[in-house]
Structure 1
Amino acid sequence: MPRYARSEREALTELMSTLGPDAPTINEGWTIRDLAAHLVVRERRPDAAAGLVVAPLRGYAERVRREIAALGWAELLGQVRRPPVWSPVSNPLADELANTLEFFIHHEDVRRAQAGWRPRELPAGLDRALWRRTSTLARLALRRFPAHLLVQAPGHGEVATGRGGEPLRLVGTPGELALFLSGRQRIARVQLDGGPELADRLRGTNLGF
């Protein structure tokens, strides 16, 4: 069985190694070193990882991330490349479920910040895996958006979400939808059909996680 979380991790760490710690990512203000430290916090520091999603703990999580970012580059990259088996998100039972989307998105965070990047043609199995996760993400991220929203990945499926109202349709491949719905609207190659004002509002909505 293909292990897409592992293959995306390997591709990301290889790219990070090639580009070096000071190369940019599409995350505003973050270099590759900053992104690597974020991944280490998520996998190795459960005391701080909650701050990635719980607002009152974000200050502590950021302090820990900065401490980890100060590690030597080889050590930091090694910790991303070789996850701990005890981690709640990277143990063998959880890895594929918890990390396929995570590492795909962060791989693209690095790829798309570099000059001359091009969209990848993904394996069919990875597309399917991304759609399973993205369809759930669409329901969660857009459930309160003031529209009757249809999210479509041609050849994979569609999800209806939103609070209702004016119709709006979001169309793209599973990977591009994953980027859009994770707050990366400006780099996602998707199609939005509907009223221009509503479409612009969705492009500017904070969907990040």
Structure 2
Amino acid sequence: MTWVLLCDREGMDWYRWEQRELANTLRAVGPDAPTLCEGWRSRHLAAHLYLRLHRPGQFLAGLLPGLTDAGTRTMELGEAHADPEAYEGLLDRFLAEPAAWNPMALAGDAIHLLEYVVHHEDVRRADGPVQPRNLAPEQLSTLWVQVRRAGRTTQARDRTGMVLVVPGGPRAVVCRARHSIAVTGDPVELALYLTGRTEHADVDVVAVAAQQPTL
């Protein structure tokens, strides 16, 4: 597989495609399916996705006295959409185009793609291991860019270095230290590993010798 950053042939950001696929999966499992997000059923995940995209101010509300925090709002909205018909409506609202004034409307793959891919797997893997999806090389290449950035953020204060490796593809040092590990997997699996879903990520983790030359 050739790993180069390409655009969708139709000019569509990959997160839009992933958003639709995620919504389709949520529709298929219904409002009461388990997820990998502790305490959340599928309806709560749908509520989170809707609020994040269409009501991003809710995530700041908890910082102000007297306002409901995002976690509580997510649970309340999810419970309000436990009925299958209401749940379908919530997913329709999630798929709707954000308002022009909403900064999330301009965020693109850099903000949305990794989020949607990870939450999609939260639904797919909640009942155990599943076959990996056959994603387009262009989408995986775009996701790799976000995974690399996420690694630099999540590992910034870690005393153990980390190298991310895609089999037969690129690799990136996301944290430098005397003692390091190499985490090998495709971009979806690396995304799960970096976002704390280590038990559900199909990766190989091995120690790297001290003073390993820069890759």
TM-score, normalised by the number of residues in structure 2: 0.79
Task: State the partner residue of 2:23.
Answer: 13
1:26 to 13, 26, 36: 36
Cα pair 2:148 2:174 within 8 Å, conserved:
no
Task: Establish whether residue 168 from structure 1 lines up as the match of residue 181 from structure 2.
Answer: yes
Task: State the partner residue of 1:60.
Answer: 69
* Structure 1 unaligned blocks of 5 or more: 196-209
> Relative to 1, partners in 2 of residues 1:116 and 1:57: Cα closer, same or farther, differing over 3 Å?
farther
| SS of corresponding position for 1:46 | coil
* Structure 2 unaligned blocks of 5 or more: 1-6, 209-215
| SS of corresponding position for 1:106 | helix
Q: State how many pairs are aligned.
A: 192
> Relative to 1, partners in 2 of residues 1:167 and 1:60: Cα closer, same or farther, differing over 3 Å?
closer
Residues 75-154 of structure 1 aligned to structure 2 (within 5 Å): 75-86=89-100, 87-89=102-104, 91=105, 93-114=106-127, 117-154=130-167
Q: CA RMSD in A?
A: 2.6
Percent identity over paired residues = 32
Task: State the partner residue of 2:87.
Answer: 73
Task: State the partner residue of 1:204.
Answer: none
**Paired AA for residue 94 in structure 2:** V
> Relative to 1, partners in 2 of residues 1:177 and 1:79: Cα closer, same or farther, differing over 3 Å?
same
Task: State the partner residue of 2:213.
Answer: none
Following TM superposition, by how much is the alpha carbon of 1:51 offset from its aligned partner in structure 2, in angstroms?
Answer: 6.3
- Asked which structure has the greater RCO (Cα within 8 Å, sep 6+), the reply is 2
Higher mean C-alpha deviation, range 121-130 or range 62-71: 62-71
Of structures 1 and 2, the larger Rg is shown by 2
> Relative to 1, partners in 2 of residues 1:42 and 1:58: Cα closer, same or farther, differing over 3 Å?
farther
Whichever structure has more helix as a proportion of its residues is: 1
